[in-house]
A and B are shown apart, each in its own frame.
Chain A
Amino acid sequence: MRGLRVRRFDSTSLTAGLALIGLGVLLLLDRLETIDLRFGYLWPALLAAVGAILLASGLSRRSGGGTMKQ
């Protein structure tokens, strides 16, 4: 597991973290009855979160994922 040895910045983790914070805030606001979440809003929000995480991992692999080239 090379990736574990080379401790470098992981943009996937950052994006996932930020996406989760965003989702968490939405959910918290719903529970505090500031907003009223519906499925029509939530599914796409989850989709967008997954898409953002995929985008981050796709972009980060370009900058030297290191498995294919030396």
Chain B
Amino acid sequence: MSEQDTPNPEPEPEAKAEEPEGDTDRGPVPRRLFRSRDDRVVGGVAGGLGKYFDVDPVFFRVGFVATAFLGGLGVFLYLAALLFVPSEPPAGEEPRRRSRAVTIAAAALLIVVGGLIVSDGGWWVGGSFFGPLGFVLLLGAVVWWLVWGRSGTGAHPRATLARIAIVFLILIGSAVLLAASVWTSAAGGGVAVAVLVIAIGTLLAAAAFWGGTRWLIVPALAIAAGLGVVAAADVDLDGGYGKRVYAPSSPGEVRAAYDLGAGRLEVDLRDVDFAGGERRIDLEVGLGEAVLVVPRNVCVVSNADVGAGYLRVLGWDTGGVNVAWRDGSAQAAKLVVDAHVGLGALQVVHDPRDAMGHEDNWNDIEDEEDPSLGRSAACAA
């Protein structure tokens, strides 16, 4: 099948992976990344990487430990490697290729699970659990591609390193693309970004007939993911940027709507006398924080939701994606709040010091609010 124009033709397929001891110049033997059997501290990941790249495994061990302090990144990467890199076969045995059936079954499972969740539409399961799982699987796919997809021909370690460097560049470029996509989409260019995704998809599909352009897949997915975040969180950058603080002192000064594109919006209503009847107030922040301070003696009814981030309403708090608080006790309401934050934090509090992100609040928030969390005590009166 393969042409014979390469300087080193491949050996016969029966050639087994030699045991690397004492033979550093292995030539064009199929090289695969395994978790080392004899150089194993935890799971043999660093040992295997060292063997694979002909480098002292200590470098990888130090790397894993050092990055473990970057929010546990090292631990995460190590666990991913444990999960996706196979263990080295015993000496003299043929390296056990991961069965194709397993791969196909895993991929099919992904599709089925994805489809089930789509049809079910449960946001909690979909967001909080399968979000991180999706990230792990995506990372696993990259590792799998590196380990099984490309390195079968005994390429030189440096060539492999160069390839990994290219993959990293693609990933970094994709992260930049993702950020750009989020910003463009949030600023109102979502339609254009969606059309771009469709165009790249069409290009990929068309290119399939003359060999394909696989490198486009990852950046295109990044662009789609960026727009996806904006679309799912309903981020809207209308209303400008920066920090806005409003502290009206009379009902007349209270606006019907406060709108901020990105930044921090603080509305302090403690000095307002709400005796005059029901008031409605709309709060909208695309990207950032919104803090609404309401008086204790007024019955407040809140309808609040956050696309992705943190939500706190009068002592009741939660976090995640598509989180919402709906208060049904509308009868006695003096103040009806409708608030939405796309990405970030939304907080309705009685005291600004209770709000996360307040200068005075360096500690964890104490839940010293009303006994019925999420509702004003004044509503019961």
Contact = CB atoms under 8 A, between A and B. Distances in A.
Contacts of A37: 228, 231-232
Contact of A8 (B113, B211, B321): B211
Interface string B193-211: 1111110111111111111
Interface centre among B3, B201, B307 (most CB of A within 10 A): B201
Interface in A28-70: 28, 30-32, 37-55, 57-59, 61-62, 64, 66-70
A45 to B, nearest CB: 6
A42 B202 contact: no
Nearest to B123: A40
A7 B213 CA distance: 11
Given A10-B214, A68-B13, A40 B122 contact: yes
Nearest to A14: B208
B214 A20 contact: no
Nearest to B116: A44
Nearest to A59: B104
Given A17-B203, A20-B220, A47-B137, A27 B104 contact: no
B118 A48 contact: yes
A40 B201 contact: no
A50 B135 CA distance: 11
Size class of the B contact interface (CB-based, 8 Å): 35 or more
Interface string B211-236: 11110110011001101100111000
Interface stretch (B124-132, B296-304, B355-363): B124-132
A70 B10 CA distance: 8
Interface residues of A, number: 57
Contacts of A43: 117, 126-127, 130-131, 134
A17 B130 contact: no
B108 interface: yes
Nearest to A10: B212
A20 B114 contact: no
B149 interface: yes
A2 B126 contact: no
Interface of A: 2-5, 7-14, 16-25, 27-28, 30-32, 37-55, 57-59, 61-62, 64, 66-70
10 contacts: A7-B210, A7-B211, A13-B204, A23-B228, A30-B231, A47-B137, A51-B110, A52-B107, A52-B111, A57-B149
